Amino acid sequence: METPEPSRLSLLKEYLGNDAVQIKEMVQLFLETFPADLLELETACQNHDFTKLQKTSHRLKSSVQLFNIGVAREKIVLIESRAKSHEDCNGIFQLVQQFKSCMQDEVKNIRTELQRL
Amino acid sequence: MSLLKIFVVEDDLFYGELLKRHLSLNPDNEVFLFKDGKTCLENMHLNPDVISLDYGLPDISGFDVMKKVKRDYPELPVIIVSGQEDVKTALDLLKAGAYDYFIKDKDTKDRLWNVINKIRSNKKLRTELNELKEEVSKKYAFRNIIKGNSPAIKKVFGLMDKAVKSSITISITGETGTGKELVAKAIHYNSPRKKKPFIAINVSAIPHELIESELFGYEKGAFTGANARKIGKFEQASGGTLFLDEIGEMDANMQAKLLRVIQEKEITRIGGNQLIKVDTRLIVATNRDLARELNRGMFREDLYYRLLGLPIELPPLRNRGNDILLLAKYFTKEFCRENGVKTKEITEAAQNKLKKYTYPGNVRELRSVIELAVVMSEDNIIDESHINFSASNITTDFLLEEASLAEYEKKIIKYYLEKYDNNVVQTAKKLSIGKSTIYRMIKNAEI
């Protein structure tokens, strides 16, 4: 039997004592700040700015983890690790695109779950 | 209880805000969020109780922020919350004084919550401890522990005032019962060292062969029976004060070791080879005349001058004039209060009796005399009959008669004759006088 996908908001609920208002506010904050972080990731990649890449991916890692998005977390960990070892930017750029695509889907899931609160 | 002030330093706005809101679920927490190390350091004047610090900050590294915080606030707990999974980083941070180190994962929330609760309990205990220390300090305010207005005791207060303002070694001399340990405690609890331990040790009460291990401690296996490491009194009192009572009883071997510790400010535990720095203030006391012991070769000269420091001589009670009555009234009030009875008055006759006595046991003896008098008196008056000096003080009672030397001579000879069944030879030998002197006195019916 397949393990059901964990709720995207379960960890937030635990952190915020199931307070729906606070959960909505935190999701809103994530949705507001995430596009800028994503853009920063892409720009750093284009500029071959490994330091920036490493810092931004490191920062995003914990946020992504808080939404239980396993696949996206794997990608961002990989981006951080490759940026740390200054691996080829094209490979990293592809990973960033995969991460972006994954997150776009997940943002939809998050919004759906949020409406059910 | 006051709020626990928590700084959360996190560059990920989302994660930081989440931690802030999570910790704020406890109404006893007051949480502040800072996005970088600089802002955190600029706000240290808010006096946080704990800092949750991200390792990978954009401006200054978490390591450097922690080092700066620890330099100015060494006791402040700093918890590192990091995405770094590198063991070496964690170990380096813990070695540098981090309170704890968490990797950002699913358990971070519970770990942080628990460790913050632990810090809150510690803060409560620390607050209680500080309050108790303050109470002890008040208890040992000079005027609260040493009662008296006589010039002799005022001189002591003056010296104690000087003693608390420096770390100079203090040597207290005085007869038994004059309050040497109380003076030592009062100096400690009024000095800048008051928050560190005051350790008292009576040198004469510890067998010579054990004194070294008491003072310097020992390592496990140093000798048979040393099953675990023991920290000695010097180490225990580091930062505070070590009171060595009856220092004149210390043997020559130990005197040499003590001298070395005073000079080098470091000790070595028995069975160990590590030199341990100690910052221990010494207060020594004796009822012996150390200068005389020095002349007799019983006390090392170099140690004597090292220990002399600021000498404080406590006057015997008999030289403190009206302090006797002042203390008697104070003790009466105290014992009546303890026994839940109305304060008793001391009659004029009882006061005269108290004033005439010589108190070889000093304040300690007066205290016992008054305690007994309070118990013995049945109404609210303590009269002459309730004032009883102990049998061991028969000599002083005898001297209080203020007879002539010739009269005392007769009394002594008579006493020994009775003791030795009127054996003149034995009595004369005992008193180192001629037999003829005794026979003459008997013949003249003088005795």
Per-residue pLDDT tens digits for A13-28: 999 999 999 999 999 9
Inside any domain, residue B136: no
The beta-carbon neighbor of A59 closest among B12, B17, B105 is B12
Inside any domain, residue B58: yes
Per-residue pLDDT tens digits for B141-193: 877 788 898 999 999 999 999 999 988 999 999 998 999 999 999 999 999 99
Query: In this structure, are B370 and B417 located in the same domain?
Result: no
According to DSSP, the β-strands at B4-9 and B50-54 are parallel
Query: In this structure, are B208 and B230 located in the same domain?
Result: yes
Q: Which of B360, B375, B397 is the last residue of a domain?
A: B397
Q: Which pLDDT does position B401 carry in this prediction?
A: 65
- 8-state DSSP, B109: H
The answer to whether A55 contacts B56, with C-beta atoms less than 8 Å apart, is yes
Tell me which residues of chain B have a pLDDT lower than 70. Answer: 1, 85, 391-401
Distance, CA of B4 to CA of B215 (rounded, Å): 40
Q: Which pLDDT does position A6 carry in this prediction?
A: 66
Q: Among residues 31-50 of chain A, which lie with CB inside 8 Å of chain B? A: 33
Tell me which residues of chain A have a pLDDT lower than 70. Answer: 1-6
Nearest to B51 by CA among B18, B86, B37, B59: B37
- Whether the CB of A51 is below 8 Å from some CB of chain B: the reply is no
Query: In this structure, are B22 and B86 located in the same domain?
Result: yes
If you search the block for the tokens 């004047």, which residue do you land on?
B45
- Contact by Cβ (8 Å): B238, B192: no
The answer to whether B13 contacts A29, with C-beta atoms less than 8 Å apart, is yes
φ, ψ for residue A49, nearest 5 deg: -90, 85
Residue B165 burial class via C-beta count within 10 angstroms: exposed 0-12, middle 13-18, buried 19 and up = exposed
Nearest to B237 by CA among B198, B185, B209, B264: B198
- Contact by Cβ (8 Å): B116, B123: no
In chain A, residues with a C-beta closer than 8 Å to the C-beta of B104 are 61-62, 65
Query: In this structure, are B161 and B302 located in the same domain?
Result: yes
Contacts (Cβ under 8 Å, ≥6 apart) of B308: B169, B171
Number of domains in chain B: 4
In chain A, residues with a C-beta closer than 8 Å to the C-beta of B109 are 11, 14-15
Give me the sign of the Cα torsion angle B178, B182, B187, B193.
positive
The beta-carbon neighbor of B104 closest among A16, A22, A62 is A62
In chain A, residues with a C-beta closer than 8 Å to the C-beta of B11 are 59
Query: In this structure, are B86 and B119 located in the same domain?
Result: yes
- Contact by Cβ (8 Å): B210, B201: no
Q: Which pLDDT does position B41 carry in this prediction?
A: 96
If you search the block for the tokens 């069944």, which residue do you land on?
B421
In chain B, residues with a C-beta closer than 8 Å to the C-beta of A62 are 12, 15, 83, 104
- pTM for the predicted model, two decimal places: 0.56
Contacts 24+ apart (CB under 8 A), A8-14: A8/A67, A8/A68, A8/A69, A8/A106, A8/A109, A8/A110, A8/A113, A9/A67, A9/A110, A9/A113, A9/A114, A9/A117, A10/A68, A11/A65, A11/A66, A11/A67, A11/A68, A11/B106, A11/B109, A12/A66, A12/A67, A12/B18, A14/B109
The answer to whether B15 contacts A17, with C-beta atoms less than 8 Å apart, is no
We report the CATH number of the domain holding residue B305 as: 3.40.50.300
Query: Closest residue of B to A29, CA-based?
Result: B14
We report the CATH number of the domain holding residue B36 as: 3.40.50.2300
Distance, CA of B8 to CA of B25 (rounded, Å): 15
Strand, helix or coil at A40? helix
The answer to whether B56 contacts A63, with C-beta atoms less than 8 Å apart, is no
Query: In this structure, are B63 and B163 located in the same domain?
Result: no
- Whether the CB of A58 is below 8 Å from some CB of chain B: the reply is yes
Query: In this structure, are B265 and B329 located in the same domain?
Result: no
- Contact by Cβ (8 Å): A50, A83: yes
According to DSSP, the β-strands at B345-346 and B381-382 are parallel
Give start and end residues of each alpha helix (H) in A1-117: 10-15, 20-46, 50-66, 70-84, 89-115
Query: In this structure, are B82 and B168 located in the same domain?
Result: no
Q: Which of B291, B313, B335 is the last residue of a domain?
A: B313
- The H-or-E segment that residue B424 falls in is helix B424-431
The answer to whether A12 contacts B18, with C-beta atoms less than 8 Å apart, is yes
Nearest to B150 by CA among B310, B345, B297, B355: B355
Give A9→chain B minimum CA distance, Å. Answer: 13
Domain boundaries defined on chain A: 10-112
Query: In this structure, are B259 and B324 located in the same domain?
Result: no
How many residues are listed for chain A in this entry?
A: 117
- The H-or-E segment that residue B117 falls in is helix B108-139
Domain range A10-112, CATH class: mainly alpha
The beta-carbon neighbor of B14 closest among A22, A30, A55 is A30
Query: In this structure, are B159 and B214 located in the same domain?
Result: yes
In terms of residue numbers, what domain contains B173?
A: 141-313
The beta-carbon neighbor of B109 closest among A15, A22, A61 is A15
Greatest Cα pair distance in chain B: 115
Q: Which pLDDT does position A4 carry in this prediction?
A: 57
Q: Which pLDDT does position B106 carry in this prediction?
A: 81
Give A72→chain B minimum CA distance, Å. Answer: 15
Query: In this structure, are B173 and B295 located in the same domain?
Result: yes
Q: Which pLDDT does position B313 carry in this prediction?
A: 94
In chain A, residues with a C-beta closer than 8 Å to the C-beta of B15 are 59, 62-63, 66
Q: How many beta-carbon pairs below 8 A join chains A and B? A: 48
